[in-house]
Amino acid sequence: MANSSINQVIQTILDARTAEREADAAAGSELTQTQVYIGLNDADTKKQEHGTERYVSVLKWVCQQYGVPFSFDVINGGYVHDNGEYTEERSIVLTFIDVDQQTADEIAQDLCTFFHQESVLVTTDRIRVRSVRAALSKE
């Protein structure tokens, strides 16, 4: 009888561990997401000197040269310069998933230089990633 109770407790623990592993697998992997915010206004003139598509083209070229997966959005926003002056401008938010910090920082520095910025903002977060696939019909 004692063995039956012990076996029951062990089975309950094993079931709980299996449920935890299945939940973790469903939740996905933990990776790093890095975002680089690059303004398009020139650091000196405080105006956008080129068309947005030209900046996007440079951004794509730089990311391809580094061989990293990326995505980006063009957004509007505002910020305060080092001298206290407020500016609104168009910016590009470049997103990397699971790109090492050194590579992301090198790309950020290159884009800061190419886009003639005072600085660019870099954020890094730990994120959960999972793939969801569509069921394809067989016709």
Q: What is the pLDDT of residues 76-123, one digit of tens each?
A: 998 887 788 888 999 999 999 999 999 999 999 999 999 999 899 999
User: Which domains does the chain possess?
Assistant: 29-128 (3.30.70.120)
Position 5, amino acid: S
Grouping H, G, I as helix, E, B as strand and the rest as coil, residue 94 is strand
* Category of 19 on φ-ψ map: left (φ > 0), alpha (ψ -120 to 50) or beta: alpha
What tokens appear for 103 in the block?
């590579």
Q: How many Å apart are CA 31 and CA 68, to the nearest integer? A: 15
User: Is residue 72 scored above 70 in pLDDT?
Assistant: yes
Residue 12 confidence (pLDDT): 82
**DSSP tag of 111:** H
pLDDT value of residue 63:
96
Structure tokens at 86: 């407020």
- Percentage of residues of the chain with pLDDT beyond 90: 60
Q: Give the tokens for residue 115.
A: 């886009």
Q: What is the DSSP letter of 43?
A: T
Cβ-defined contacts of 56-61 (< 8 Å, 24+): 56/92, 58/111, 58/114, 58/115, 59/92, 59/94, 59/111
pLDDT grade, residue 135 (50/70/90)? confident
In this prediction, what percent of the chain has a pLDDT beyond 70? Answer: 91
Tokens of 118: 């005072």
